[in-house]
Amino acid sequence: MKKGSKRPSLRQLWQDTDLDLSRIRPADPGDDDQVRWEQAHARRLDAAELRLFRRAYPVLCVILCLILSTALVLTVAYMPAFGREDSPTNNEVAARYIEGATAEAGAVNAVAGMIIYFRGFDTLGEAHVLFSSVCAVMILLEVEPDRRRLRRERAEDRLYDLTRDSVLKEVTRVLEPLIFLFGLYVIFNGHLSSGGGFSGGTVIGAGLILHAVAFGFTDTERFFNRKVFDVIRVAALLFYSAVMLYFFYTGANDLDAWIPRGTPGSIFSAGFILPVNLAVGLEVACTMYAMFSLFRRGRV
Amino acid sequence: MNLLTVLGRILDNYEECAAMVLFAIGFFMLILHRNLIKKIIGMNIMDTAMYLFLASIGYIEGRAAPVLEDGAADPALYINPIPTGLVLTGIVVSVSFTAIMLALSVRLYRRYRTLNLDDIYTIIREERK
Amino acid sequence: MTELEIFRLILLTFLVVCAAASAVSRSMLVTVIIFMTYGLVMSILWVVLRAPDLAVTEAAVGVCITSSLFFVTLRRLNLIRKRGEEDADSEEGK
Amino acid sequence: MSFVLNFPAVSIVLSLAASVASVAARRWAKQISCLVVVLGMAMSAAVLAYTASAGAAFTYVMGQAPAPWGNELRIGILEPLFALLFGLVLLLCILSGETTLSEKADPKKRYLFFVLCDLIQASLFALCYTNDLFTSYVFIEICTIASSGILMIRDNGPTATAATRYMIFSLVGSSLFLLGVIMLYGVTGHLLMEPLRKAVASVWAAGTYRLPLRVIIVLLVVGLGIKSGLFPFHFWMADTYGTSLPGAAGILSGIVSKGYIFLLLKLVHRVIGPDVFYASGAQNVLFLFGVLGMIVGSISAIHTSDVRHMIAYSSAAQIGYIYMGVGISPALGTVAALFHVLTHALTKPALFLSASRLADVSGGSNDFHALQGSAHRNRVAGIVFSVGSMSMVGIPAFMGFISKIQFALAGAQAGAKMLPTFIALAVSTVLNVLYFMRTVIRIYTPAPEQGEHVVRARQQLVFDGTALCFIGLNVAIGLFSQPVIELLGRGLALLG
């Protein structure tokens, strides 16, 4: 089923060659599955109804998308102009987020003040989006490691360790502390300068991934395994929920909330923004690394 | 609708319009491509286009990022912080979706040895018979 | 038109070109690499749009994490192979 | 402020925390889920009692900053009522779907099902109560991820394919929704619903951004319509509901799609405003697609020979009813639509669950012919299936009948839409009778060779209990519908 023999050119353009069926190796030879698969493959080529559908489908899609993009560009053209001071979004809401950033939230970074102090419920949901997605990825990819698989993984790891690029290792050795330091800086300075839990957490997660790539999972498991992952994310999210519940309860009932605001600009200030940033950062870092690990070897 | 005024408006809003073109490209990829990986990339492009759109709504020419230096909390100095916060949420959401879709494509490939959705539907239909 | 605006226009053009290129490119690996570039340009654009928070996040998420997830997936689907490794890794797809 | 009003926020955060805690206490995940759902239901019931007796709606500030700045919940009558409904159906689906879960899912991953159920509960409650557009987007995403997760927990090829399709449709839907939210923010500068409504009304009256506003309405409606399975976008439903575990199918069709519909109603009444919405012409499109969905869904249901696909297509038809009601009129039609949401949420999960029981005693096949005589092999499932079918068809004494009466009453006062409504109701009822009664007759026709397939399903007792709940509620609300309709009407008046 090589491309380019008889199909319309439009379709050629929008189909990839990489995943062409002819390139796919069948599973184990002699397998029942394979026979069935090959039969299906043969029949698939002359499913007439589907051929018609496939030919009509791109045309329909192009038309639909052209309509959509024209409509959207036209709509946007009639929206408030770009970069002006008199745009409707520049209203009292935005003004208070900036004015209240230091006065109410105690944060110098108005974005951190807004997402954690003013709109804390959204951000609580956001942290749980990551949690739910790692649950879904676990459902799809997690495999229980039996002894054989573990042994094979170890052996592979050792083999990779010998053959792995020494340039990568040396560069990682130099870069890694810097990456982690930068990540921690971004988390701890989330209320003072741009950044925060999500940004810093992803940086740290990227650092963990780099470590795993350069030194192997066996090495990473010395300080990060399933248990650590579970403890960190459960503790971080529960802490976050508890803090937010306290905020919601005191805020809605007009009670005086105990918020240690400190002096804006110093590191221990801005109430709960720093601990919340820390919790979120840890959770994000763990989750990012866990996703990579799940994809790579089917477990955290 | 005068064509010239519309063009002028489009030029006025070039940033948002570019975001909408990107959105259309992403949408195009998401629904037209039969390959899952391409669909996922299309989804990502679509999402980032929306974030670009959101950020350009809040942008005000000549103002600084909303980090209040020296405690000067004058709203006339800084851009709107809301879009930044919302985009931050959105980026996290789209990376979650990407991870799930990629995991799904790994699983589908294990089972059907192809990532072309049409082929997968055909195989399923064949197997059902 | 200020310099900043011209710079922004260049970045926007680059973004659109990247997106279109990743839509029509035929190799998966190239597509993902183009997408990485797209993320990088996007993170520069965030700086220009006065959103440094987003620049850091986009650089870490779009360029590092999403792309590494894509690469791992492609590796598991046998679309990237090491040199000399023809048919190893066959149990990976099982 | 009364202490009761803290309950919505507490129940949302509690179920989020429960989902996280279930990861640490895997063995107790199911118990935690049930406990949290029961607690959530109790809290919603208390809130409902409070607001219904007060006859007013309250806002609850989520955090330290008031309305246009901080997040907010809004607690009227409909919000706790629907939270109660979602909690109830979720509980029944968890209890009754557990058997198939333990048979068909990896035992090591079973706890994740309950974790995701908690997340679904949290997000649905948040969708019910929230007064903020962006919060609703975030929780829509949690809901989408969690519901695709409970789909994927059944580890086979067709389910993974169906989950992929579901994810793609959901993604398109939520992207369009988010685009609508962003545009609305760009035009008005607000994200909370009350300031938004004022801003939308003034923008509409000033006529400055009419075109963007129309596009925004279209984007929001289409986005949520795709996610809830409105007619031209219902293609994902058959595979999704047909291949997943019956508990998951019940949750998805019964409550997740209803959560999106409820959000859409909130948008219409609280953000866009019924006057603007019903002046923009969008309601006619909804009406048209609703009617088409009723007919097309039923015809597809007649064509298929797989009983679960049939129920799934019937879902598409029922969603069509709901949108038709929204399209008829903002008052009577919407009350009918709300009542039909109740009907469908209480009936469809029962149908899915009982159909899977019937399939279990028929050699595991969902095929129409294999089901012959299955009602004799599992009597309770047969009764539940028949009751559900009769309710969907609209036989008096069941809820479906009341919804159809309500639709007809609303249609009778709708002027030009009267005739199409009546014709659509009549045609759709005939089609419903065709496919549902055909199935009921089939499952009660004795099979020629009996005895071979008779397998006593495990945990029949739990299923019997939940079945009794579903049937009991259906008949009870069907017989004493007037207070419920009154409550819905009062709630709708408070929604705006």
Query: How does pLDDT run across A226-238, given as a tens digit for each residue?
Result: 889 999 999 999 9
Domain that holds residue A45: 10-77
Q: Write out the residues of chain B at the interface with chain C, using a CB-CB cutoff of 8 A.
A: 14-15, 18, 21-22, 25-26, 28-29, 33, 37-38, 40-42, 44-45, 48-49, 51-52, 55-56, 59, 63-65, 67, 79, 83-84, 87-88, 91-92, 95, 98-99, 102, 105-106, 109-110, 113, 115
> According to the model, what pLDDT value does residue A1 have?
39
Q: Do A151 and A222 fall into the same domain?
A: yes
CB contact under 8 A, A125 and D115: no
Chains B and D form CB pairs within 8 A to the count of: 70
What is the DSSP secondary structure assignment for residue D231, as one 8-state letter?
A: G
D279 touches chain B (CB under 8 A): no
CB contact under 8 A, D164 and B108: yes
Query: How does pLDDT run across B113-123, given as a tens digit for each residue?
Result: 888 887 888 88
Query: Is-contact D225 D285, C-beta < 8 A?
Result: no
> According to the model, what pLDDT value does residue A10 have?
39
> According to the model, what pLDDT value does residue A28 have?
43
Enumerate the residues of chain A whose CB falls inside 8 A of the CB of residue B87: none
Count the domains in chain A.
2
For residue A182, the chain C residue with the least C-alpha distance is: C56
CB contact under 8 A, C26 and A186: no
Task: Compute the distance between CA of residue D347 and CA of residue D400 in angstroms, rounded to an integer.
Answer: 9
Distance from CA of C7 to the nearest CA of B (A): 12
Residue D257, phi then psi, degrees to nearest 5: -65, -30
CB contact under 8 A, D168 and B54: no
Chains B and A touch (3+ CB pairs under 8 A): yes
Of A19, A194, A288, the CB nearest to C53: A194
> According to the model, what pLDDT value does residue D101 have?
78
pLDDT, averaged across chain C = 80
> According to the model, what pLDDT value does residue A44 have?
55
For residue D159, the chain B residue with the least C-alpha distance is: B108
CB contact under 8 A, A209 and C64: yes
Task: Using the predicted structure, report yes or no on whether residue A224 has a pLDDT greater than 90.
Answer: no
Query: Which residues, numbered 35 to 74 in chain B, qualify as contacts with chain A under a Cβ-Cβ cut-off of 8 Å?
Result: 35, 37-38, 53, 56-61, 65-69, 71, 73-74
Q: Compute the average pLDDT of residues A198-220.
A: 88
Of D376, D373, D377, the C-alpha closest to D445 is D373
> According to the model, what pLDDT value does residue A145 have?
77
Count the domains in chain D.
1
Residue D62, phi then psi, degrees to nearest 5: -90, 85
List of chain D residues with pLDDT < 70: 1, 449-459
Q: What percent of chain B has pLDDT over 90?
A: 25
> According to the model, what pLDDT value does residue D136 have?
93
Chains C and B touch (3+ CB pairs under 8 A): yes
Query: Is-contact A266 A101, C-beta < 8 A?
Result: no
What is the DSSP secondary structure assignment for residue A80, as one 8-state letter?
A: P
Of A18, A109, A292, the CB nearest to C68: A292
Q: Is residue A292 part of a domain?
A: yes
Q: Do A166 and A248 fall into the same domain?
A: yes
Task: Using the predicted structure, report yes or no on whether residue C25 has a pLDDT greater than 90.
Answer: no
Residue of C47, C49, C71, C74 to mutate for B, most B C-beta atoms under 10 A: C49
Q: Compute the average pLDDT of residues A115-125.
A: 88
Q: Name the band, by pLDDT with cuts 50, 70 and 90, for residue A22.
A: very low
CB contact under 8 A, A140 and B103: yes
Query: How does pLDDT run across D249-268, given as a tens digit for each residue?
Result: 999 998 999 999 999 999 99
Residue A109, phi then psi, degrees to nearest 5: -85, 110
Q: Name the band, by pLDDT with cuts 50, 70 and 90, for residue A3.
A: very low
> According to the model, what pLDDT value does residue B71 have?
62
Task: Compute the distance between CA of residue D361 and CA of residue D454 in angstroms, rounded to an integer.
Answer: 6
D496 touches chain A (CB under 8 A): no
Task: Compute the distance between CA of residue D359 and CA of residue D337 in angstroms, rounded to an integer.
Answer: 32
Q: Compute the average pLDDT of residues A215-219.
A: 81
Query: Is-contact D297 D317, C-beta < 8 A?
Result: yes
For residue B92, the chain C residue with the least C-alpha distance is: C61
> According to the model, what pLDDT value does residue C24 have?
82
Q: What contacts C88, CB < 8 A, 6 or more positions away?
A: none
Q: Do A141 and A250 fall into the same domain?
A: yes
Task: Using the predicted structure, report yes or no on whether residue C69 has a pLDDT greater than 80.
Answer: yes
The neighbours of chain D, by the rule of 3 or more Cβ pairs under 8 Å, are A, B
CB contact under 8 A, A209 and C52: no
Residue type, B112: Y
Torsion of CA A134, D22, D250, D221, to 10 degrees: -50
C6 touches chain A (CB under 8 A): no
pLDDT, averaged across chain A = 77
Domain that holds residue D441: 281-496
Crossing angle of helices A166-188 and A273-297, in 10° steps, is 150
> According to the model, what pLDDT value does residue A5 have?
39
Enumerate the residues of chain D whose CB falls inside 8 A of the CB of residue B36: 164
Q: Is residue A90 part of a domain?
A: no
Q: Do A46 and A195 fall into the same domain?
A: no
CB contact under 8 A, A129 and B10: no
Query: Is-contact D34 A59, C-beta < 8 A?
Result: no
B59 touches chain D (CB under 8 A): no
Query: Which residues, numbered 38 to 77 in chain A, qualify as contacts with chain C under a Cβ-Cβ cut-off of 8 Å?
Result: none
> According to the model, what pLDDT value does residue C90 have?
38
Enumerate the residues of chain A whose CB falls inside 8 A of the CB of residue D123: 125
Count the domains in chain B.
1
Q: Compute the average pLDDT of residues A57-69.
A: 77
> According to the model, what pLDDT value does residue A20 have?
39
Lowest mean pLDDT among A86-100, A105-119, A156-170: A156-170
Of A78, A92, A135, the CB nearest to D115: A135
Task: Using the predicted structure, report yes or no on whether residue A178 has a pLDDT greater than 90.
Answer: yes
Tokens matching residue B83: 């879009």
Q: What is the ipTM of this complex?
A: 0.90
Q: Which of A92-106, B63-77, D241-255, D353-367 has the highest mean pLDDT?
A: D241-255
CB contact under 8 A, D64 and A251: yes
**Residue D487 neighbours by CB distance under 10 Å:** 17
Of A14, A16, A199, the CB nearest to C57: A199
**Residue A5 neighbours by CB distance under 10 Å:** 6
Distance from CA of B113 to the nearest CA of A (A): 7
Query: Which residues, numbered 171 to 210 in chain A, qualify as contacts with chain B under a Cβ-Cβ cut-off of 8 Å?
Result: 193-194, 196, 198-199
Residue of D150, D164, D216, D236 to mutate for B, most B C-beta atoms under 10 A: D164
Distance from CA of A191 to the nearest CA of B (A): 9
CB contact under 8 A, C69 and A198: no
What is the DSSP secondary structure assignment for residue D396, as one 8-state letter?
A: T
Question: Which has more confidence, D180 or A67?
Answer: D180
Burial group, residue A185, by CB count within 10 angstroms (0-12, 13-18, 19+): middle
Q: Do A284 and A143 fall into the same domain?
A: yes
Domain that holds residue B80: 3-128
Of C9, C19, C46, the CB nearest to B25: C19
B28 touches chain D (CB under 8 A): no
CB contact under 8 A, C69 and B102: yes
Tokens matching residue D391: 């309710």
Q: Do A250 and A118 fall into the same domain?
A: yes
Lowest mean pLDDT among A154-168, B19-33, D369-383, D393-407: A154-168
CB contact under 8 A, B43 and D163: no
For residue B93, the chain D residue with the least C-alpha distance is: D141
CB contact under 8 A, D188 and A88: yes
Q: State the DSSP string of B4-25.
A: HHHHHHHHHTHHHHHHHHHHHH
Task: Using the predicted structure, report yes or no on whether residue A27 has a pLDDT greater than 70.
Answer: no
